[in-house]
Every structure is written in structure tokens, then in C-alpha cells.
Structure 1
Amino acid sequence: MSARCIMVLGTTSGAGKSWLTTALCRHYARQGLKVAPFKAQNMSNNARVVASSNGQGEIGSAQYFQALAAKAEPEVRMNPLLLKPEADTHSQVVLMGQVSDELTAMPWRGRSLKVWPHIAAALDALRAENDVVVIEGAGSPAEINLSSSDIVNMRVAKHCNAACLLVTDIDRGGAFAHLYGTWALLPEDERALIKGFVLNKFRGDASLLVPAPQMLQELTGVPTVATLPMWWQHGLPEEDGVFDDRSISKGAVSLTVAVIAYPRISNLDEFQPLKNIPGLKLQWVRSPSELAGLKPTDWIILPGSKATSADLAWLRAQGLDAAVAQHAGQGGAVLGVCGGLQMLGEALIDPHGIDGNAPGLGLLPLVTVFEADKTVRHTQTRFASIPTSPAGVTEVPDDPATPWTSLAGVCVSGYEIHHGQTAQHPAMAAAGNVALEVLPGGLGWCNAQGNVLGLYLHGLLEDPAALKALFGVNSPTLDAVFDGLADYIGRHFTPGLLDSLGR
């Protein structure tokens, strides 16, 4: 078996590569073909736990969802190199699912020589085992300052002779210049691999595009094979977890969920299902003023972080620590996930120089110690009982239960990615201030009032049982989302084009 390879390139980051790759994975899988996604290098703090030769490892969330769309088991060969930014000029390097301290310390350009053999071997193995491999590029293939050390765009395309689609975001303006400029900067042998241009996020009258697509084809020899209308609520988590007011569920707002958006926020894609809850408003928060209108029944979420101590310092600098504490003191719901859990405690202790020491927010009597080894695993567990009468809640006397009370006894599944290990603060526990362990093995803790909950478990808000317990509704399945994406491109691509690629 030698797979045909179809590659999605973009004129910029955010052009639409990830979702189009996902849609193509489901399109070909629905034809009964054996399909696998591939992205040589992803830079993202959104990661998932998947199978690897060492047991379990990490890949970018986009490739995880693409594998599910392809009806394939997600595994590390689908994203052999993952860069997880920890600062503006530094990233943790994950090779074949495992953190590599050697590569993390290595300069960017020198790294490519080391990693290319692993990337090529992973791609070749997937090609040997599948009918189709759908490949996602990164950024733009015309970043000529990086072409000599390229390991993710045209070097990959040439390695497997991929049929390439070049997608651009026409909503930003300048789409035809982006397409032509990208094509023009490529060497002639690389231009020959581009089989079609795709205009993404189009709003308006498509007839007004004439005669630009034809003129572009006369200049390049490449046809425009699809004009994709703007689609805000396709249901697929964005590559970087981004959402805005246009993606809020329609209807009257009965619950606001405010997510603190610190600089090194991670794993935002796990909140995507909340966008589909009727009456729920999901919003970013970067200042105390954005929390001022919250009711005690509303939620504040402290999500994961790739640099917990630094993000905690940022949170304090904005004055958000006091705003979160005030909401919790009024009996308001606060949820911390992974790094967010660590922030909720009394102290962060870093003996190995992994993340940094810091005082916590003091909302849970816990202490976190960062260990040298990272915990990476799938987890299935069950919630213990959670207190039902938060102290200090006078605004909602008819409903004393916290939102977390409904999780008692619910069996949930998710994943863990963390260096920190969290336990009761010894001195506080001795004084009688004890957090309630609501998930076994140090996975989840709650304060005595029941309104502040911290979890190491990512994916709670993707779990159908948890969503049902918390909101009484069923979120659309991912399978339905993937089918919707495949139907969408089927309607808007030139008929027969997708099936002819790579032949």
C-alpha cells in the first residue's frame, strides 16, 4: 500500500488549514478509504494524549481531531514534532510524543537536521499503511527566511509528491495577492505541486469575485477550486481554542462562563462543547472589569497553562486575583483545570527549575511540587460527593447547591498532561483546613463550601456524562461535526476535484 498524499497549505496562519484538513479526512474516510492525518511540526499548547511506542505521548489537538475525523486511532506518528511555547522565544520540544530536553535546548535551525529523519520515517510509515494521507502545513510555505530549514511545508510536499491545495482567508482582504505572492515566491518545482487555490471565509456575493479567479489562473496556471462561505458555528474546536461573540449560543443568556485568558493558556479546545449549550455565554477575560457583572451562579474558569507561575504573576498584575477571590467569597463557582488547579492552591514549589516558585491564590489548602517527569496519560475516574451548601451565598437562597454538586457519583474520562503533583498543605491540614478530595489519586479537590473545584483532569467538559450532569443537555457528537464538515466541502468544491487529487 502506498498512500496518495493531499496537502493543505495556507497563505498565513489562521487561513483555515486545520479545519479543511479535518474535513478532507472525513471526506475520504466516508469513501471507505483508509485515511491518516499528518502534520510534521505543530506549534501549539493545545495537546492530547495518544498512543506511542513508549505507551502514551502527546500530539497537537488538531491532529487528534483529524485522526478521529479519518476514523483512525490517534497516534504520535501523525504529529511527530510538537512545539509547546513557554515564552516568546522558547518552546518545549516534544518528539514522537515525548519531551526532548536535548532538542528543547537546541537552536531552531540546528534542530531541523536532527528531527527530519524522524519526520520522514513517520510519514513514510503512514503512507505504507493507508490509502490516503491528508497533510497539514504550517504558517505559509513562502516564509523564505525559513526555507533552508523547512521541515513542515514544501520539504514534506516534495518528499511524498503531495497534491497541494493553497487556502487563504479572504475575509482579511488581499486574498488574491496572498495567493499570487505565495505561489510566486516558491521555486518552480514546488509551484508544480499546487493543484488548486481555495478562498475561505467568504462573505457577500460570489459573482463579484469575477474576473479575479480567471486572471489568477492565467498568471499561475492554478485554478480556484473552491469559495467557502463564512461559517462561524461548524462545531470544530479552533486550532488555538479561539472563540468570539459571534460563536455564542443563540437565545437569552442564563449562564456566563468566564475563562481567564492568561498569556500561556493551554488546552482551550476542551471548552468547545460549551459553545453549544443553549443560553450559555462563553467569554475571554483579561481584566477585572470583565468579571464585574458576574452573578454568583456564573462560573470563572482558570484553564491550563504552559507556564503556570508566569501566568499567575500576570494574573496578579492585572488585579484578577482579587476579582477571582471576590467571586469565590460570594459563593461563586470557580473551576481550575491543571495549571488552574495549581494556581488555586497555597504554593507552587519548583525544585527542578521547570516552572518557577510562586505563592498561590489561596482558595484551596493545597501545595503543588513540580516533578522532573511529566505525567501523560488517559484517565477514567468517578467523582465523590461534593458539598451542597456554599457559605456566603445570599443572592440565590432558593438554590443552595453549587454547580459541582451534580457531578457527585458521575464517572468521567479525560487526560492528564502535567509536571506538578498536588497534595494537602501539611500545616493547614493540621490546623483543620482540609480540601475535599473529590477525585481519587490527587486528581480533583474542592473547598469545604463546595464552590471552588480544581482538577488535573482535562476534558471534563467534553465528557457526555459530565455535560449531562452539569447542564442537563447532550452536546452534538464529534462524528456529527465531522460529517457536517465533509458535507460542506462537498457542496463548495469543484465537482470531482477532491476525488481526482493525487491520481
Structure 2
Amino acid sequence: MTAVCVMVLGTTSGAGKSWLTTALCRHYARQGLKVAPFKAQNMSNNARVVAPTLHRLRGSLPPEGADAPWGGPAAHRGGEIGSAQYFQSLAARAEPDVRMNPLLLKPEADTHSQVVLMGEVSRALSDMPWRGRSDKVWPAIAAALDALRAENDVVVIEGAGSPAEINLHASDIVNMRVARHAQARCLLVTDIDRGGAFAHLYGTWALLPEDERALIKGFVLNKFRGDAGLLAPAPQMLQDLTGVPVVATLPMWWQHGLPEEDGVFDDRTRAAGAVKKTIAVIAWPRISNLDEFQPLKNVPGVRLVWARTPADCAGADWIVLPGSKSTAADLQWLRAQGLDQAVAGHAAKGGAVLGICGGLQVLGEALIDTHGIDGNAPGLGLLPLVTAFDADKTVRRTTAAFATLTGPWAALSGVRASGYEIHHGQTAQHPAMAAKGDIAREVMPGLAWQNAAGHVLGCYLHGLFEDPAVLQALFGARVPTLETVFDGLADFLQTHVEPGVLDDLIRKN
């Protein structure tokens, strides 16, 4: 089979490409079609671990056992993809696969990103100038897309940013180069809540070459508030100028339940009901895997707060130190804001503190970096642990059970949790402190430790709050499943798209 490709482009970042792609994946999967998502390049520190795959892309990988041209091992044993594509694959009822996001850029600083190609970190590509990278990675990107097209009825492709950035067009590997390669039927979505939506749509269309304009089959107005009838005559005027119809006007929808790819939560997205527990998540600059907190937004009575100042932590029941793509730098930022004292003060009063991955490392006594991975730094000293950064990266799915815990985390005792690990750091008991009798209780072998008083817990396992058993233990709550969320997205899309449009997009000529 050769899949029909539907592509979602946006006039800007944040226009709604990711959730619209997810909704399309579920819509077409519900038609009984075999569907896969695809995004050639994603820039995000929200990543998921995918299971090992036996797929090998002809022409994009060297022989088994040989070194890959980008510096990583040749054999595919699974790896990282952007969280958005992970969720899109689940919406498509497909097994997540590194081919769905062949290139992942994980920002480590304002001018540098770690490059992950086909699920594996490439030091060579990470050190390469951005503009020189495109020709090196395009063969693997094209091979990944072609392999998915050969195995599916429909491939739903997500673009990145805007396709009309004329300074980037010549080196494009994620928008119109992909669209041309796949001859994709494209939807162009804009955020009308920002204002200037019709100018954004027209300007994007006008800046594209004529052959690329021909691939755009419909405009989508997203996040609209009010009476859609008041938009007239603008949609018809836009069609008269471009020949492209407005095929959907999607109302503002705050609580659809899908994690925002790079967004944050605020009171507009807080679950309804009286607040019984406030959880402050430290929002340091290089936060990673923030999407894993989405389920907490859906727990009745729980309010989440991004903490950027000590005042944001005031009154919190829990303080959570999340993952970080640059742990030492984020720890420095934490101290500059005075948040280290806020966390220490909260712990001194017996308040619950949870560190996840980088947050766990920060809670320890020291960060030791002999490989130039992250940086050296003294930790917060809330757990008698030390973390050494390893040149090799741990990337795996993990299932393990908690031992007996005490204090505010006691409810997790014996709970078997599933999640994923993505970290360079290797953490262990601080030997000198152990000799003095200050020992962290290892409550999940090699993965989680608790202080003697019981209120500070550190864990390498991402995705804890996505595990129903963990939510039930901590909150006695069930939250909407991802299946419910995906179906809700598809239902919403079907309600607001013009009749016949979704079928026309995949109709073979």
C-alpha cells in the first residue's frame, strides 16, 4: 500500500498543529484505516521512549554492527521521539516508532541543542552547524516517511512553526520539502485568538512558491470565541484571493485533556471544583517532560502552579522538581531566584517534596561531570545522594514496584508503576554520608530514594502520574483515559469541519 498523506501546517508556532494532527489520527483510525503520524523534525524537551523496533530503512542505515555516519550505533534498539508524536501514534492506534519523528532537537542552551536522529543521540550532528545539518539528515527523514507510507493507508504529517519562513526555506526539512516529497494534502491552521488570522493565512499562502500553494487544500481557524457568523464575508474574500476555502472554524477549547506540546498550565485549564491540594512545579528554564503532569490537571480538587518565584510556592502542599535538560544550569537558576530556600524551607516544615529525574539529581549532595555532559554543582542536600553524569544515555521503558514508603508518600508502598527513563546521570548513596549514618532509603531499586523523615522522594521514573495505579493510590481518583481524550478530539473535529472535507482529503485521485 502507499498511504495518502494529510499534512497540518501552521501560520505560527502554537497555532494548534499538534492537537489537530492528533485528532485527525484518531478520526481516520476510527474509519478502520491503518494510520501513522509523522513529524520530520521536532524541537522539544518533551520526549518519550519507544519500544525497540526491527525496522531498518534501506539506504539510511549502514550494515548491522557498523558505525552510523552520524556517530551512533547502527542497530535500532528503540529510542526517543517527541511526546506529541508518541500521543499521535496512540491516537492512530499504532505502535510508537522512531520513524514517526526521525529528528528530535532537545534544547540544552539558547544556542545549542542535542540532536537525536532515529531515536539515538548523535554527537556529530549536535556539534554541526544548523544549516549544514539538513543535507545530512534528509535521507533518513525521507526513508522514514517512505517506509511509513508503504505500511499504512494514511499518514498524518505535522509541520513545524510556519512553512513560509523565507530565510529557512532553502534548508527546510520539516514543512514544504516534506509536503512536496509526499504530495501531501495540506491544511493551514491559524490561531484566531491572537488576532490577524486572515492576514496570517493570506501572508503564509502568498509567500509560498506556486507549486507549494497548490498543496494547500483548506484553511482552519482555531481557538475562535463568539458567533462564527460574524466572520463573514472574510472567509469568502480569502477564498476569492487564494482559491482555498476555510474548511473549519474551531471554537476555543481549554480542557480537551491532551498535553500541550510546549505549553504551560494556568488557571484557565485547571480542573473544576474546590481545591483540596495545591502542587507547585518548579518551572526552570530547561524543563523537560512537562507533559507528564497533564493527568494531574484532570484530578478533581488538584491545582497545579508553575513556580518561578518563592511566592509561587507559598501554600503549596507539594513542591515538585521536574526533569531538566540542563540540570546544573537549572540548579543555578533555582538559586538565583531564591527557590532553593523555598524548597528547603518547605522540606524543613515537613512539606512533601518530589524530584523527578533531573529534580532527583538536584535534591542530592552533588552533581559530578567528568565527561562534559552537564556540569558540576553542589546539590540542595535534601537527599544523601551523589549523581555522576555518564557519557552514555539511559533510554528505556521501565516497570518497577515501590517498597515500603513513609510520610506523605506512604500511599505508594507496594504500588507497581510503569514509566520511562531518559537520563545521563547515575545516582547512588553518598559514601561519606553513609559512613556517618545518613542513608537514603532506596525504595525502588536504582530508581527511587526517600529521606529518613519520609517527606522527600526522588525518582528517575518519568510518567508516574500517567499510571492509573499511582493516581489511585495518591488521590483515590480516576482521570479520563487517553482513549477518551482521543475520541473527544475526533468528535470535536467532526462537529466543526465542513461536511465531506475529511473524506475528500484522503480520497485517491
State the TM-score bracket (shorter-chain normalisation): over 0.9
Which AA in structure 2 matches 1:383? F
Which AA in structure 1 matches 2:37? P
How far apart in 1 are the matches of 2:182 and 2:311?
A: 52
Identity of aligned residues (%): 79
Deviation at 1:251, TM superposition (A): 1.3
Residue of 488, 495, 500 corresponding to 1:496: 500
Residue of 319, 323, 328 corresponding to 1:309: 328
How far apart in 1 are the matches of 2:237 and 2:266?
A: 35
Residue of 203, 206, 219 corresponding to 1:184: 206
Secondary structure, counterpart of 1:238 in structure 2: coil
How far apart in 2 are the matches of 1:437 and 1:56?
A: 28
Deviation at 1:240, TM superposition (A): 1.3
Secondary structure, counterpart of 2:437 in structure 1: coil
Deviation at 1:241, TM superposition (A): 4.4
For the Cα contact (< 8 Å) 1:21–1:66, is it kept in 2?
yes
> Can you list the C-alpha shifts for 1:166-224, whole angstroms capped at 9, x where unaligned?
00000000000000000000000000000000000000111110000000000000000
Which position in structure 2 is the counterpart of 1:394?
none
How far apart in 1 are the matches of 2:130 and 2:165?
A: 15
Which position in structure 1 is the counterpart of 2:405?
386
Secondary structure, counterpart of 1:58 in structure 2: strand
What are the within-5 Å matches in structure 2 for residues 222-237 of structure 1? 222-237=244-259
How far apart in 2 are the matches of 1:105 and 1:202?
A: 42
Which position in structure 1 is the counterpart of 2:467?
463
What are the within-5 Å matches in structure 2 for residues 59-208 of structure 1? 59-208=81-230
**How many pairs does the alignment contain?**
485
How far apart in 1 are the matches of 2:263 and 2:163?
A: 23
> Can you list the C-alpha shifts for 1:285-340, whole angstroms capped at 9, x where unaligned?
1001111233xxx0000000000000000000000000000001111000000000
Which position in structure 1 is the counterpart of 2:73?
none
Which AA in structure 2 matches 1:496? G
Structure 1 runs not aligned, ≥5 long = 389-401
Secondary structure, counterpart of 2:78 in structure 1: strand
How far apart in 2 are the matches of 1:198 and 1:210?
A: 15
> Can you list the C-alpha shifts for 1:135-155, whole angstroms capped at 9, x where unaligned?
000000001100000000000
Which AA in structure 2 matches 1:20? L
Which AA in structure 2 matches 1:491? T
How far apart in 2 are the matches of 1:385 and 1:175?
A: 55
Residue of 406, 412, 426 corresponding to 1:407: 412
What are the within-5 Å matches in structure 2 for residues 278-357 of structure 1? 278-294=300-316, 298-357=317-376
Matched, 1:250 2:250: no
How far apart in 1 are the matches of 2:241 and 2:404?
A: 67
How far apart in 1 are the matches of 2:494 and 2:217?
A: 17
How far apart in 2 are the matches of 1:289 and 1:380?
A: 36
How far apart in 2 are the matches of 1:56 and 1:146?
A: 31
Which position in structure 1 is the counterpart of 2:477?
473
The list of structure 1 runs, each at least 4 consecutive aligned residues, that deviate by more than 2 angstroms after superposition, is: 51-54
Deviation at 1:387, TM superposition (A): 2.0
For the Cα contact (< 8 Å) 1:343–1:361, is it kept in 2?
yes
Give the structure-1-normalised TM-score.
0.96
How far apart in 1 are the matches of 2:108 and 2:338?
A: 22
Which position in structure 2 is the counterpart of 1:434?
439
For the Cα contact (< 8 Å) 1:384–1:438, is it kept in 2?
yes
How far apart in 1 are the matches of 2:363 and 2:275?
A: 28
Greater CA deviation, 51-60 or 300-309?
51-60
Secondary structure, counterpart of 1:414 in structure 2: strand
Which AA in structure 2 matches 1:469? A
> Can you list the C-alpha shifts for 1:6-65, whole angstroms capped at 9, x where unaligned?
000000000000000000000000000000000000000000000345222000000000
Deviation at 1:502, TM superposition (A): 3.7
For the Cα contact (< 8 Å) 2:154–2:506, is it kept in 1?
no
For the Cα contact (< 8 Å) 2:29–2:35, is it kept in 1?
yes
Secondary structure, counterpart of 1:494 in structure 2: coil
Pairwise CA RMSD: 0.7
Which position in structure 2 is the counterpart of 1:393?
none
Structure 2 runs not aligned, ≥5 long = 55-75
How far apart in 1 are the matches of 2:455 and 2:185?
A: 53
> Can you list the C-alpha shifts for 1:462-501, whole angstroms capped at 9, x where unaligned?
0000000000011110000000000000000011100110
Which position in structure 2 is the counterpart of 1:420?
425
Secondary structure, counterpart of 2:502 in structure 1: helix
Which position in structure 2 is the counterpart of 1:270?
292
Secondary structure, counterpart of 1:55 in structure 2: coil
